[in-house]
Every structure is written in C-alpha cells, then in structure tokens.
C-alpha cells in the first residue's frame, strides 16, 4: 500500500475551520488541489474531478509545526538505564544522549526517524525542524532521515549537529554533512514539491571552539541558511562562554557571524538580557521547549523577553504540539507568566511563520494560496466552540487524540486514523532492541 496519490483534488464540505492567530472559527468549504488551498467559501460547488468529503461536525486546522526536535531519540523511550544516575545537565548529555547517538547506525537512524515521524504525523504535526546527531555514522545520515520522513509523508527542515566533542575529524564530517544536505536542498528546491530544507546544525557554544563556530558561520553565508543550535539551555553553556571567551553565549555567536533571521536558538533558559537583545536585533527565533526543560531541571526560560519570534519545540519528547503548548501554558501559569491561553495559540502560529519563512510559502493559514498542510479533528465538545473561546478549548480540551486525518502538501498522510504504512512500530521495536543491546555493551 502506498500513500494517497498526488494531484488529487478535494472539496471539504461544512468543516469548522480554525485559525489560530487571530483566533477564528468559521464554518466553510475548502477546495484543495495541487498541494494548495485553492478556494474557501460558505458553499463551494464541486467539479467533476474533485472528491467531496463531508466534514460536518469536524474541525479543520493547519497542521502543527515543531520548531526543535531530535528524531534520533525516538527509540530512547524506556531504554536501558545509564551506567549511573546523572546528577546535572552535562552528565545527562554524557551518560544518556551522547551514548545513545554514538550507538546509532544506518539502520537505527532510519527507524528512529520513521518512528519519530510517524508519532509526529499521528499527533497532527506536519512539519519538523530536526536536529540530528549520529557520530558513528555521519556521512549520508541526513539523507537517511529525509528518506524516512518522506516515506511517512511530512515536511521537514534538517541539520547535522556540529560539535567538537568527538574531535576535529568528526567535527569536519558534521560540517560536510550539513554542506551536502544544504546543497541537495538547493538543487531539489527547483523541482516541485520540495518538502525539505536545511539549516546549519551545531550543538552548543560550550562544545564548539572558535574555529568550529567560524566554519559554521561560513556555511551559513555560503548557503544563506540559519543556524540551529542549543543556547544557554543550562548554566554550563553560559559559564563556559564567559570563562573561556569572556562573552555571553549569543554575543559569542554574533562575534563569529553566526546569527541571522533564519537562526533557531533552542531553549535560551539562561540568556542574559544583553544576549536576548542581541539575538532579537538579529531577528532570530527562540525555541521554547518547556517539557524538556522541566525534565532536565534546567530552569524556566524568560519567554516574555523573547518577543515576537518565540516558537515551541519538543526537544525530542515526541512531536505532539497540542501537549507541548498545553504544558507551556500550565508551566507559564505556575511561573506567574503573563501569558493567557491565547498567547500560546499565537506562539503556535509563530511556528507556522517560521515554517513559512523557511519554505518561502504560506504555511499555516487556511487562505487560498497557502500550502494544504491540514489536519482534521473529531473533537466532541460539551460546550460551544467559537472564535472568542478557542484558546480555552486548546488549554483544556482539544488534544492530539482527536486528530483523525492529516494532509501534507495536498496529500493525505493519515486518513480516518489510518496511515498507509502499518508496520512502522513493529519494525521500530526490532530496531530498538538492536540499539539497546548495543547500549548495554558500551
Ligand atoms: Zn535539543
């Protein structure tokens, strides 16, 4: 069984169309063809070649975008415990994630990406900004990830994590992997549809020396690409930049020319006001990952100071943006943040703005001309759902369990809860047993 064919035309009848920012709920018909929304109106007439889908009682909204994730960690769920319990953030990296990513080979990179992308699709996430690491198999790894995401049917922005932690040879191969993927995306962008883009991936300031950072910046300039990097996730990053370089984390990135308006700074938990100011002036995106921050006990990010370009990521804890946004809302409440539920809908919309900027097309609005990246929800609410209370339904009701169908670029990836690939989890479990056996022997 293969995915639904391309070039199908669909007429969605009588759906409740939901726009996140501004909050708007409206019963409308939607015509979809050639990967785009062609027309929107109260009653559209079907033409002969269109499949009519009656969506009375269903919600249609833009597919979610995850602004920071690590598909390579998809097979980590329930994995063997590390040799000892980490006591701080650097030990979490050394004892958990840097052992896991080193254990990945061609096969387990592929099944991690398949499982992670399938989880994303089932949660209604149609676009992923992934940050990949597999130091034992660097060359070609992004194409393996790409192939898996393509099979699942999603849109994605990929990069390889450049770092000094494995020495200069691994660092060079990481740079080369970014270069080769960016080159590929530039070539394939001319052919339609192009569902993949690249960024320059880098781990974090504290694992990059000056030369490594400068070479990342060179790549950014060469391909007019942004940097995707963890910034001030933990105080260790801030202390390292100050002690070894006498600079703030962002100040150091700026000094090396590694900031631009396509750049994603993940976490930003401990960024100083000065660093935030420099980053905002450069127009970067701040990816807030509340569940990951809570899990790693690194602190609460100064979300209010991030301004207009704050986006949400999962940092590899699945790709369920309903759940991430809800956690962001509750954690914000707990921290006394002046963000109502509607502000988080605005942030989810920022994720769409990031995707739109990266792909150079309108993603995340249900207007004629925008990409047909949509999800259909079967949400049974005990109370009315209207424009004015939409955000509160997101905070207290709507969740990924109600995602019924998923469409990317005009093609059904999941239809009525069924994906064409029905064996992904069984195959992923086999791959994870292999990966875990390797971890136990390390
Ligand atoms: Zn991360």
Å from CA of 131 to ligand 1 middle: 7
C-alpha 101, offset from chain centre:
19
Å from CA of 274 to ligand 1 middle: 23
Average pLDDT over residues 87-108: 92
pLDDT tens figures, 35-89? 999 999 999 998 888 999 999 999 999 999 999 999 999 999 999 989 899 999 9
User: What's the Cα-to-Cα distance from 30 to each of 52, 120, 202, 333, rounded to whole Å?
Assistant: 10, 24, 41, 37
Å from CA of 205 to ligand 1 middle: 13
In angstroms, rounded to a whole number, what is the distance separating the alpha carbons of residues 303 and 338?
Answer: 10
Å from CA of 133 to ligand 1 middle: 10
Share of the chain above pLDDT 70, in %: 97
196-198 and 155-158 strand pairing: parallel
The answer to whether residues 268 and 124 touch, using CB atoms and an 8 Å cutoff, is: no
The three-state secondary structure class of 320 is: coil
Å from CA of 298 to ligand 1 middle: 13
Bridge partners, residue 287, by sequence: 266, 311
Q: How many residues does the chain have?
A: 442
> What's residue 188's pLDDT?
76
Tell me: pLDDT of 3 over 70: no
Other CB atoms within 10 Å distance of the CB of residue 1: 7
Å from CA of 26 to ligand 1 middle: 36
Other CB atoms within 10 Å distance of the CB of residue 187: 10
Other CB atoms within 10 Å distance of the CB of residue 25: 18
Å from CA of 287 to ligand 1 middle: 9
> What's residue 137's pLDDT?
97
In angstroms, rounded to a whole number, what is the distance separating the alpha carbons of residues 102 and 109?
Answer: 11
pTM over 0.95: yes
Average pLDDT for the chain? 95
Rg (CA), the chain: 21
pLDDT tens figures, 185-222? 988 766 655 899 999 999 999 999 999 999 999 999 99
Find, among 326, 334, 297, 328, the residue nearest to 400 by Cα.
326
Find the range with the poorest average confidence among 19-28, 191-200, 207-216, 429-438.
191-200
> What's residue 6's pLDDT?
61
The answer to whether residues 354 and 129 touch, using CB atoms and an 8 Å cutoff, is: yes
Å from CA of 282 to ligand 1 middle: 21
Average pLDDT over residues 4-16: 85
pLDDT tens figures, 129-150? 999 999 999 999 999 999 999 9
pLDDT tens figures, 259-286? 999 999 999 999 999 999 999 999 999 9
59-62 and 374-377 strand pairing: antiparallel
**DSSP string of 362-409, one letter each residue:** --S--STTSB--EEEE----SS---GGGHHHHHHHT--GGGEEEEEET
Å from CA of 289 to ligand 1 middle: 8
In angstroms, rounded to a whole number, what is the distance separating the alpha carbons of residues 431 and 437?
Answer: 10
Å from CA of 265 to ligand 1 middle: 10
In angstroms, rounded to a whole number, what is the distance separating the alpha carbons of residues 8 and 34?
Answer: 7
Å from CA of 395 to ligand 1 middle: 25
């Amino acid at each position: 069984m293969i995915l639904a064919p391309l070039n199908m035309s669909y007429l969605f009848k009588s759906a409740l169309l939901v726009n996140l920012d501004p909050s708007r709920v409206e019963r409308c018909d939607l015509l979809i063809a050639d990967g785009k929304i062609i027309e929107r109106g109260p009653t559209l007439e079907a033409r002969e070649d269109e499949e009519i889908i009656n969506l009375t009682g269903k919600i249609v909204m833009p597919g979610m975008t995850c602004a920071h994730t690590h598909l390579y960690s998809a097979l980590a769920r329930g994995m063997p415990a590390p040799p000892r319990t980490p006591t701080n953030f650097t030990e979490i990296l050394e004892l958990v994630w840097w052992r896991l990513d080193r254990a990945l080979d061609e096969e387990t990179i592929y099944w991690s990406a398949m499982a992670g992308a399938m989880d994303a699709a089932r949660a209604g996430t149609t676009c992923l900004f992934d940050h990949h690491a597999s130091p034992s198999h660097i060359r070609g790894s992004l194409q393996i990830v790409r192939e898996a995401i393509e099979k699942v049917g999603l849109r994605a922005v990929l990069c390889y994590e450049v770092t000094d932690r494995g020495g200069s040879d691994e660092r060079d191969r990481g740079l080369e992997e970014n270069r080769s993927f960016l080159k590929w995306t530039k070539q394939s962008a001319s052919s339609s549809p192009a569902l993949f883009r690249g960024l320059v991936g880098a781990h974090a300031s504290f694992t990059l020396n000056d030369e490594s950072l400068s070479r990342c910046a060179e790549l950014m300039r060469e391909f007019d690409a942004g940097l995707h990097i963890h910034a001030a996730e933990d105080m260790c990053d801030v202390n390292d930049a100050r002690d070894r370089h006498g600079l703030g984390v962002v100040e150091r990135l700026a000094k090396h020319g590694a900031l631009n308006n396509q750049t994603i700074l993940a976490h930003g938990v401990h960024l100083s006001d000065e660093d935030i100011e420099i980053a905002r002036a450069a127009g970067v995106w701040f990816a807030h990952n509340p569940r990951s921050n809570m899990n790693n006990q690194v602190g609460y990010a100064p979300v209010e100071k991030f301004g207009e370009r704050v986006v949400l990521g999962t940092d590899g804890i699945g790709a369920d943006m309903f759940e991430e946004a809800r956690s962001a809302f509750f954690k914000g409440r707990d921290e006394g943040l002046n963000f109502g539920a509607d502000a988080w809908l605005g942030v989810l919309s920022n994720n769409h703005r990031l995707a739109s900027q990266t792909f150079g097309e309108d993603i995340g609005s249900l207007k004629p001309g925008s990409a047909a990246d949509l999800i259909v929800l079967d949400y049974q609410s005990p109370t009315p759902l209207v424009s004015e209370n939409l955000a509160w339904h997101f905070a207290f009701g709507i969740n990924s369990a109600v995602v019924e169908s998923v469409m990317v670029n005009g093609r059904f990836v999941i239809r009525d809860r069924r994906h064409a690939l029905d064996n992904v989890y069984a195959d992923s479990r086999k791959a994870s047993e292999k990966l875990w056996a390797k971890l136990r022997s390390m």
